[in-house]
Amino acid sequence: MNVYRLSTALLFTIHCLTPIGAAAQARGGGAAPPSARASAPIDLTGYWVAVINEDWRYRMVTPPKGDYRGVPITKAALQIVNSWDPGADEAAGEQCKSYGAAAVMRLPARLNITWQDDSTLRVDIDAGTQTRLFRFAPGGPAGGKPTWQGDSTAQWERGGGRGGAPTSGSLTVTTRNMRAGYLRKNGVPYSANANLTEYFDVSPSPGGQLLVVTTVVDDPQYLTQPFIVSSHFKKEADGSKWDPTPCSTRW
């Protein structure tokens, strides 16, 4: 066998013995990137209970009609605030108006956060028995019929938490395609064209962990500027206090 034929035979043998994965890497392939679940810089899963340390009068009880202090509303919104009628909402089957994505994290509620699959974070809220789905994978539902919780797209952010929180990362969630609802139970509105951006951070707290959710609502129709609030939740050991309740226009 001449040198050329010997070299060809050796190369053929080496190619046949090379693992398919290695060959794919040689062609520029390589392993698939880790899933959103596997690459999570912080762990949001578990049960969390709301810590009402601000705006108690607006969150723990239904404020009086016409009280919109602290919310930068437009004149169009003021008309809705002054005409708010919880009985009319009930009759129209609109009891969940204050349980939509733009307001539900402000309720005195508990959260149960789990992974629905490797690219979808699920947030169940016992107040109003609501469910939010944060999708990391591109091409999720969009443009369909608006819902109370809308269509949410999630993205991990690396590095320290917002505001210097001692974490290794945070979560940013943007939500569109929401039904028109209320920022407060007394009829302070947001429109179906509102855009919602949320930042989820986890930090240590005495005796456990604290989840901080910063909410930014942009709505040129009913807000003169973005409405920004921060809501706090404390980690619970288990779901023994979990208490799903239906939507209500009154407390």
Confidence at residue 141, expressed as pLDDT on a 0 to 100 scale: 58
DSSP 151-184: EEEEEEEESSPGGG-SSSEEEEEEEESBPPEESS
The answer to whether 183 and 215 are in contact (CB under 8 A) is: no
Q: How many CA atoms lie within 13 A of 41 on its CB side?
A: 18
Mean pLDDT per segment of 10 residues, for the chain of length 251 residues?
38 36 47 93 98 95 96 98 97 97 98 98 98 87 85 90 61 98 98 98 93 98 98 98 96 76
Q: Do both 80 and 113 map to the same domain?
A: yes
Question: Is residue 206 in some structural domain?
Answer: yes
Q: Rounded to whole angstroms, how far apart are CA atoms 57 and 153? A: 32
Q: Do both 152 and 230 map to the same domain?
A: yes
Range of the domain at 26: 1-31
Q: What's the CA angle centered on 98, arms 251 and 110, to 5 degrees?
A: 70
Confidence at residue 4, expressed as pLDDT on a 0 to 100 scale: 35
Q: Which residue type sits at 106?
A: R
Question: Is residue 146 in some structural domain?
Answer: yes
Question: Is residue 82 in some structural domain?
Answer: yes
Q: Which residue type sits at 57?
A: R
How many domains is the chain partitioned into structurally? 2
Confidence at residue 162, expressed as pLDDT on a 0 to 100 scale: 55
Question: Is residue 246 in some structural domain?
Answer: no
Q: Do both 52 and 158 map to the same domain?
A: yes
Q: Do both 118 and 194 map to the same domain?
A: yes
